[in-house]
Structure 1
Amino acid sequence: MNAKRKRPDTISDSVTEQERIVHEVIRSKQDMGISQQDIKREINLHSNLIAKCIKSLVSKNLIKEVKNIHSRRQKHYMSAEFEPSNEITGGAWYVEGSLDKEYINVLKEQCWRKIYGLKVATLEGIADAIKRSNVSQIELSKQQVEEIVKALVLDNEVMEVRSTGTGEFASIPVGKACYKCAGKRGYGGEPKLGALASIPCGVCPQISRCTPDGIISPITCEYYKKWLEF
């Protein structure tokens, strides 16, 4: 829950009884918000009256309309003192409810360059390099950096490997997951990949445990299925 300012003590003096009821339902959802249809399911008021109450509450700055990436056709409302949860906004990858593909591509390019420059990089190393580069106006969490790097792995531009603790892995603890570029490329170009790296198996960190009848199997692998369909 992200309360941004104190709830007004005089709210009951500025709204009608119906508006108070609608506001209480909306406020009870905190940073998740609620649609007009769902408000209707929770209280015994006519749809037209609920719509009128919502319009009035918005004009009084007691509630606000928010974007919900899971239900774009329905308007969602939230009490004014809350900020939307990442669960409904999509977090850093979404702007006004739409996936920010340009921003994601910039970060993918920067992550690839940092990995290429470091030769072998851990998530922590990549995240630190991105932070120092100031490419992002907001500070990315380790999880967000991992999402970008995993996307590069699925694109066959980066491969995940395990440190052996020797050679190029000398500064990385044995067994720790780290990342290497799958090939060279020019700015905005495509990576040069070998035949094995062109399929998901070539960059899969679990390939040594993959067997036809095992828990990890090409039969049940979603990435392998998508590659075959492609």
Structure 2
Amino acid sequence: MSRSQETLSLKRKRPEPNALALTPENALLNLIKSKGDMGIWKADMKRETNLSEPVVTKALKALQGRNLIKEVVNIQNKGRKHYMAAEFEPSKELTGGAWYTEGNLDKDFIDILKKSCSKIIGKFKVATAQGVYDFCKDNKIISVDITTQQILEILRSMVLDNEIVEVKSTGLGEFHKIPVGTVCYRTASGMGLGQGPKVGAMASIPCGACPRINQCTPDGIISPKTCKYYQKWLDFGI
């Protein structure tokens, strides 16, 4: 065999540089990584790669065995097998966020937060979402990490359940440490709202419906001291 023929033979036997990238495993891995923290459903993998069911199943098993991908729960479609690259954490849209554990609503965690918020509001009579969060954090009431947004979501759910009432600060009395107009929360029992139809913030205090609440200050032209509606609200003992 001539030298030129040997060279030609070697070229034919030598794999193409991108041959490895064309294997089912690498094709699926690249696709899964491209989906980031949202991952991808198994059926969508087959559709986007044109690979057959047995090939996809075998490749996914191999990738999982090498710890390159992981199966995650999609709370919107728990019956679907959803996969994500190992280096990503599932998005809240996929898992439901902090309220879900392994795809199931964590009712115990929610109940603990509700009870804690209720005790804090009862202690201070009135509190903002930030105030409740700060107290929880400073006193290590909750053993897991929480956010102000989570506290706010819990407080809003408690308002809907008629457990607490959402009001706006007047800057007077028990509100003296809270800026006028700031949304805050107080126990429902002290306002006659423990039972019966749900009553929102607008019905609980006139300030909630006042169009000039942002201009209201204790010693200003517009003030709770001179407001006849606020005085009437106090006289009735609401």
Between the aligned partners of 2:39 and 2:175, the Cα distance in structure 1 is 47
For 1:83, the aligned partner's letter is E
1:199 correspondence with 2:214: no
* TM-score, length basis structure 2: 0.73
1:39 correspondence with 2:45: yes
| RMSD of aligned Cα (Å) | 2.4
Between the aligned partners of 2:25 and 2:133, the Cα distance in structure 1 is 47
Between the aligned partners of 2:19 and 2:178, the Cα distance in structure 1 is 63
* 3-state SS, counterpart of residue 185 of structure 2: strand
Give unmatched runs, 5+ long, in structure 1: 1-11, 185-190, 210-230
Between the aligned partners of 1:118 and 1:15, the Cα distance in structure 2 is 63
Contact 2:122 2:186 in 1 (8 A): yes
- 2:81 match: 75
Larger radius of gyration: 2
| TM-superposition CA deviations, 1:22-57 (whole Å, max 9, x none) | 111111111111110111121111111111111110
Please give the residue correspondences for 1:47-58 in structure 2 after superposition, counting only pairs within 5 Å: 47-58=53-64
Report the Cα offset of residue 199 of structure 1. Answer: 2.2
Structure 1 residues 15 and 63 mapped into 2: Cα distance closer, same or farther (>3 Å)? farther
Contact 2:162 2:194 in 1 (8 A): no
Between the aligned partners of 2:194 and 2:154, the Cα distance in structure 1 is 22
1:18 correspondence with 2:29: no
Structure 1 residues 13 and 170 mapped into 2: Cα distance closer, same or farther (>3 Å)? farther
* TM-score, length basis structure 1: 0.76
Please give the residue correspondences for 1:1-230 in structure 2 after superposition, counting only pairs within 5 Å: 17-183=23-189, 193=193, 198-200=196-198, 202-205=199-202, 208=209
Aligned length: 189
| TM-superposition CA deviations, 1:1-22 (whole Å, max 9, x none) | xxxxxxxxxxx99997110001
Larger helix proportion, structure 1 or 2?
2
Give structure 1 regions of 4+ aligned residues with deviation exceeding 6 angstroms: 12-16
Give unmatched runs, 5+ long, in structure 2: 1-17, 211-238
Identity fraction in percent: 45
- 2:222 match: none
* 3-state SS, counterpart of residue 125 of structure 1: helix
RCO greater where, 1 or 2, for CA within 8 Å and sep 6 or more?
A: 1
For 2:43, the aligned partner's letter is Q
Between the aligned partners of 1:168 and 1:144, the Cα distance in structure 2 is 25
| TM-superposition CA deviations, 1:182-222 (whole Å, max 9, x none) | 017xxxxxx97456xx323x12448849xxxxxxxxxxxxx
For 1:139, the aligned partner's letter is D
